[in-house]
A and B are shown apart, each in its own frame.
Chain A
Amino acid sequence: MRDPSDGSVGPAEFDAEQAWDDALMAAALLAVDPKALGGVVVRSGAGPVRDLWLTACRAIFPNSVPFVRMPAQIGPERVLGGLDLAATLRHGRPVHQAGLLSQADGGVVVMPMAERLTAATIALMAAALDQGEVAIERDGISARSKARFGLIAFDESVSEAECISPAIGDRLAFHIDLVAVPLRCAQSRRGPNAATIAAARRLASGFESQSGEEDLIAGLIGASIALGIESLRVPLLALWAARAAAALRGETSIEHDDLQLAARLVLAPRATRFPEMPQDESDGRDQPQDRHEPQGPLQSDSHEHENSDDTSTKRDAAFEDVLLEAAAAALPRDLLAQLAQAASQSPRTSRSNGQSGPARRTRKRGRPIGVGRGELGSGDRLAIVDTLRAAAPWQRLRKAVKSSPIEDAEQAGQRRFSVRPDDFRFRRYAQRSESLNIFVVDASGSTALHRLGEAKGAVELLLADSYVRRDSVALIALRGRQAELVLPPTRALTRAKRSLAGLPGGGGTPLASGIDQAIGLALAARRRDQQPTIIILTDGAANVARDGGTGRRTGEDDALVAGRHVRSFHLSALLIDTGPRPSPFASRLAAEMNGRYFALPMADAKALSNIVKRASADA
């Protein structure tokens, strides 16, 4: 590994080079043992750097290995396989068409826009990754087929709210980031070549357990815990990554370097907190403390991070230290900011149901509720197998009826299957009238704690009450300089509780930025055919402007502008004034939003949830 202080490149450039080298290394390790390592999550939009990486990746896999591209909007019939309609009709018997996952057996699945996968597809992928096969129970077919593949998932999300599903991320060893890699850098540097990897692949299959392996595993587990990584899959993936790294060096036992690599590529990207460890910070990376105030538990850690000149306290687990150092060095510069966000939404589950999908036709959306009759050309989706089933019993009769000479001649050539309009069956979907309640809660000032507590209570009450109908809630907290999405839209009570517990308050009231975020969520919800309602709880003291500057004047002006946006999008809104006296500004804001205004000085959870319920029933 290169020393960052050799002076030839600046820190930003060095970071980019490091990121690119890591990405190439991740590809190489995956090529050594795709089945064990699961795959790579690549954070990057579409672009030349990503294309270069994918090309490099393709080049180090043997030519015979299939690379299958899988679009995010794919349906289960293509993922798993199903009936081949053309062939079925041609041959007069059901012909099975293999799905993408079984086509990719022994190879790689490439998935752009992986953050947009539907929950159903995510679960299918996760099951296939776990079992190395797919089970098909569809369209009259009952089969199992091998599907051992590595997955390259491109995470093209732009905001934290739509990140890749943790169910997928958890199973893929490497998480790499190409966002900051410039094209020049990517063009100039290469990773391990195909011959090295082919040799490593042969070595990797013959790994025996090595002495001291237990310490090694203990080190990986200790480091994972110190970095705040809960899942047990992660240390296991790190172990396998280290093994692949050893094989890449032409060895069959793991050395320090392999562990460091594994820590950097597997553990570091998943860190949810800074490890508490003695560090000698010589690489000149200073944390950007000026922009974001560290919050909660991070504060002490980062403090320690800055003046940590005592390296004397050595731990027993030597491996753990090696791992932690490697992982900590690889933590990105803006981790503090990222962590602050991650902590607020951890665990990072977004129900990535096409979070930013374009509005699709409602006929094809919603819950499937079975199959029914319909008319061809109405835009409904044809249920092929059910149509065939409907037509099948009548075939003999129909053949007997139409017996003109021309048709006889045709029938002599091949079996004809006759389908009549009456036979057509269509998939039916139920449109959920699902709602999303977005709470924007003022967590500043003296009454913050109380208000926050009531808001939490109301959120939980609403959730407990509505989970039968599958409504969801989200919570944005106003505190400090920026509003913060504390609870992304969810309907899972367990998760909401976990997020809400221990939510601190304090600081200013960035009302404008809170409303902006709420609008973003609401519009995204609309695209998912949800009915959003924005509920703002404040005492009306907007004192932080959009740009983070303080001052009542600009704060209020910005909030009013944001409020007008709410109106322009025709979003339903509700403002609950929790101040001791009704504030004129708050009622003006409500008017700007074209929303309803309630003065509720002693807001309690029950009253709050009742108001919201009534409001969303009217909406």
Chain B
Amino acid sequence: MNFPFSAIVGQEEMKRALLMAAVDPTIGGVLVFGDRGTGKSTAVRALAALLPEMEVVEGCRYHCDPADRDRSCSEACSARLGREELKISRISVPVVDLPLGATEDRIIGALDIEKALTLGEKSFEPGLLARANRGFLYIDEVNLLEDHLVDLLLDVAATGENVVEREGLSIRHPARFVLVGSGNPEEGELRPQLLDRFGLSVEVTTPKSIDERIEVIKRRDAFERNAQEFSARFAEDEAGNRQKIEKARAIRSHIMVSDSVLGKAAELCLALGTDGLRGELTLIRAARALAALEGCRELGVLHLQEVAASALRHRLRRDPLEEAGSTARIERALEEVFR
């Protein structure tokens, strides 16, 4: 049983980023970097319980969306779509763990060895990327992931499609997922290409206030002693958070974004010298997701300011002689732009 999301003490930026990613998958995932023992992986694993259900084509191994013909898998769905009535079922949004030590064949999928050995049949056994389609892919200790696996992920994340060419198989299937990674920066840096893949990046530290620390330990202790009882205590909060996500998803696309807010976002990115459009786009999307979570009808400047650090801190060009961290640089830029 997972520790409930709503019971996590403090760490507001991390919780907010995860909720925003749940509201809008196009934000591009979340990277959580920080100290040991700050509940990084607890929070990500807890998110699964908050995610609403989604409609899938029944029996499809890639959980294709019955309403989205363009992205359905070639295996069965696109052939059947339109021609016959598809059965639809509902499943909870998958949160797939990519554990360390996972091998390439299990990630992208491979020849089904059992069938090959027993029946002499050549069939494809989907991997983790298939399972994560339309859901979340979580990599703990993402900075320790082997390079060849990172390359694989980068390719799939860029195209939204997994192409398997091995052992005489030639398969392609949709693989769109929200990438969530966590790690401790002291154990190594992340490859810049992978860093760039993450929409939001948050830094977590051990809480500074004693009261907060006490609460963390009390809750953790209570959970370890009786997980069921503890989770029941937070059931209502969990339901509240789930509803908040569902509502935000519904209103997200109706939120008004004024030109002046767009202008401010551009100005901010310019001031920080972030490369490319991706930063700006993520900034707007994240701010909109936040506005949706708060139930607002219009995107405000405050929303921008609140998400700026998460959306931009990993996109700043490194200046090793700059003493202040990237968060401080963003704060400075925020002050300049929103004075």
B62-70, B219-227, B264-272: which one contacts chain A? Answer: B219-227
Q: Does B147 contact A468, Cβ atoms closer than 8 Å?
A: no
Complex alpha-carbon distance, A369 and B103, angstroms:
11
- Identify which of residues 57-109 in chain A touch chain B, using a CB-to-CB cut-off of 8 Å: 76, 79-80, 88, 92-94
Contacts of B185 in A (CB 8 A): 492, 494-495
Q: Does A217 contact B218, Cβ atoms closer than 8 Å?
A: yes
A133-141, A292-300, A506-514: which one contacts chain B? Answer: A133-141
Contacts of A120 in B (CB 8 A): 100-101, 144
Complex alpha-carbon distance, A588 and B7, angstroms:
66
Contacts of A221 in B (CB 8 A): 210, 213-214, 217
B17-25, B48-56, B73-81, B106-114: which one contacts chain A? Answer: B106-114
A180 to chain B, nearest CB (A): 29
Complex alpha-carbon distance, A213 and B222, angstroms:
12
Chain A minimum-CB-distance residue to B321: A457
Contacts of B106 in A (CB 8 A): 137-142
Interface residues on A, range: 35 or more
Q: Does A460 contact B147, Cβ atoms closer than 8 Å?
A: no
A392 and B120 in contact, given A124-B100, A137-B128, A369-B147 (Cβ under 8 angstroms) = yes
Chain A minimum-CB-distance residue to B319: A464
Complex alpha-carbon distance, A468 and B189, angstroms:
9
A186-194, A383-391, A515-523: which one contacts chain B? Answer: A383-391
- Identify which of residues 488-511 in chain A touch chain B, using a CB-to-CB cut-off of 8 Å: 491-495
Q: Does A94 contact B36, Cβ atoms closer than 8 Å?
A: no
Q: Does A130 contact B (CB under 8 A)?
A: yes
Interface residues of A (CB under 8 A from B): 36, 76, 79-80, 88, 92-94, 119-120, 123-124, 126-127, 130, 134-142, 166-167, 170, 207, 209, 213-214, 217-218, 220-222, 225, 230-236, 239-240, 347, 349, 351, 367-371, 385-386, 388-390, 392-393, 395-396, 417, 430, 457, 460-461, 463-464, 467-468, 491-495, 605
Interface residues of B (CB under 8 A from A): 35-38, 41, 97-107, 110-114, 116-118, 120, 122, 125, 127-128, 140-141, 144, 146-148, 167-168, 184-189, 191-192, 206-207, 210, 213-214, 216-218, 220-222, 224-225, 318-321
Q: Does B214 contact A388, Cβ atoms closer than 8 Å?
A: no
Residue from B36, B97, B112, B118 whose CB has the most chain A CB atoms within 10 Å: B36
A368 and B186 in contact, given A120-B100, A395-B120, A468-B192 (Cβ under 8 angstroms) = no
B8 to chain A, nearest CB (A): 12
A136 and B206 in contact, given A367-B148, A392-B117 (Cβ under 8 angstroms) = no
4 A-B pairs with least C-beta separation: A392-B116, A464-B320, A76-B101, A137-B106
B221 to chain A, nearest CB (A): 6
Complex alpha-carbon distance, A130 and B97, angstroms:
14
Complex alpha-carbon distance, A153 and B320, angstroms:
37
A362 to chain B, nearest CB (A): 17
Q: Does B35 contact A389, Cβ atoms closer than 8 Å?
A: no
Q: Does B167 contact A36, Cβ atoms closer than 8 Å?
A: no
Q: Does B144 contact A491, Cβ atoms closer than 8 Å?
A: no
Contacts of B147 in A (CB 8 A): 367, 369, 430
A sample of 19 cross-chain residue pairs with beta-carbon separation below 8 angstroms, ordered by A number, consists of: A94-B117, A120-B100, A123-B100, A137-B107, A137-B128, A170-B36, A221-B213, A222-B210, A225-B210, A231-B206, A235-B213, A235-B217, A388-B117, A389-B105, A389-B111, A389-B116, A492-B188, A493-B318, A605-B321
Complex alpha-carbon distance, A192 and B176, angstroms:
57
Q: Does A123 contact B221, Cβ atoms closer than 8 Å?
A: no
Q: Does A80 contact B101, Cβ atoms closer than 8 Å?
A: yes
Q: Does A494 contact B104, Cβ atoms closer than 8 Å?
A: no
B79 to chain A, nearest CB (A): 25
Q: Does B103 contact A214, Cβ atoms closer than 8 Å?
A: no
Complex alpha-carbon distance, A351 and B184, angstroms:
12
